[in-house]
Amino acid sequence: MKTHYQILIIGGGTAGITIAAQLKRKDSTLDIAIVEPSEKHYYQPAWTLVGAGAFDFADTERNEADYIPDGVDWIKDKATGIDPESNSVETATSGTITYDYLIPVPGLVMAPELIPGLKEALGKGVVCSNYTDPEHTWEVLKNFKGGNAVFTQPTTPIKCGGAPQKIMYMAEDYFRKNGLRDKTNVLFATPGTVIFGVPEFAKTLNKIIHDRDIIFKPFYAPVKIDAEKQEIYFHYAKPGESNCTVQEGNSLGEELVGALEIKVHYDMLHIAPPQMAPKFIQDSKISIQEGPGKGWVDVDIHTMQHKRYPNIFSIGDVAHLPTAKTGAAIRKQAPVLVENLLSVIKSGHLGQKSYEGYSSCPIVTGYGKMLLCEFKYDNVKDSDPMISTFVDTTKEQYSMWLLKKYGLPFMYWNLMLRGKA
């Protein structure tokens, strides 16, 4: 087995496969390997629809082998360490592999253990998550008979920041269609300050929340789950607040259990688990060592090149970029990385490509309705000029639902992973 590669990619997910495919299309002579232990590749953006019974889980799964680009070696193993000083990667069973250029893009890992009680509760009974088992979410939804339907997310960065509210809108629509809405409280509790960071889209979402009588609680950070009693505890995280008030006899039955802790009973709980970079990334010198970005790969937010190790580039979920962690972001980040890396290989200098922070969050707001939220750094709206010529993307659209259900999966499997989009 080879132990040295010109370009070593860690991770065979959206980022790894897209980059490898684009590199090979530009220069078929490149010597590339992908380190990836999984036999299966998943189109995770459709898991929102799976959780609402609008997409078949089996259609989100393909064989990883079918998407490793021709001429790229697949090292079916997992990385366990990176030493950028010696240009080497440790693996679980294949030993040490060295590289000229490294692209660490392994994606995030779920860390339910960061919320006490969540690890034990997740995926059992009425506690579900589209992030881990969307089929279970659909079972919970179908068996729901009324009461408090609670939707929440952690304080850590997460894949697709909009996903926790997408399933909430779908569930609310499901309750309406099935005669359960009048005996159900739909609660969306988030540690964030607003429903969505981009004002143009937030305006529409705030109106939807108001019109559909959804209870929105900002500054609510989930801190503990008691699965036996079906109770979730939130810390009221509004800056500068030293106490919190809860109205007596409120419809949710909220209870104050301390100056800043609130207890809520749930009859259905959908939660995005806390998420973080894999341990081998956090423990490596390639991650930021201190401060707000601690544990994430230290790259330039425009060039995708590592700030301290010029032969390392990274994009996607583990890169420290101030934008949403989505497949749409990767689609715009990958060509920048590819051009800049090829330029460094050929001339020793970066190319001209720059990434401006584009990401997109297709927010389904019900069955047959979707808002295509596109934005760039600093929460600036950045809608596709072609789409926005024909469609007002700040409004719910049936055409955007069709894009989500049919267009985007087709583009992902047939264009993006083949290095064509």
| Catalytic annotation, residues | 160, 361
Q: Which residues contact 385 (CB under 8 A, 6 or more apart)?
A: none
Query: Residue 92 burial (CB < 10 Å; 0-12/13-18/19+)?
Result: exposed
Distance (Å, whole) CA 301 – CA 321? 6
Give the strand pairing for 184-189 and 147-152: parallel
What are the tokens at 363? 């927010």
Closest CA to 23 of 374, 340, 359, 385: 340
Q: Which residues contact 53 (CB under 8 A, 6 or more apart)?
A: 138, 141, 142, 174
Q: How many CB atoms lie within 10 A of CB 399?
A: 13
Nearest-5° Cα angle at 182, 254 to 266: 35
Helix (H, G, I), strand (E, B) or coil at 102: strand
Pairing, β 255-256 against β 275-276? unpaired
CB proximity list for 252: less than 8 A, separation 6 or greater:
148, 185, 187, 215, 264, 265
Three-state DSSP at 78 gives: coil
- Angstrom distance (rounded) from CA 121 to CA 119: 6
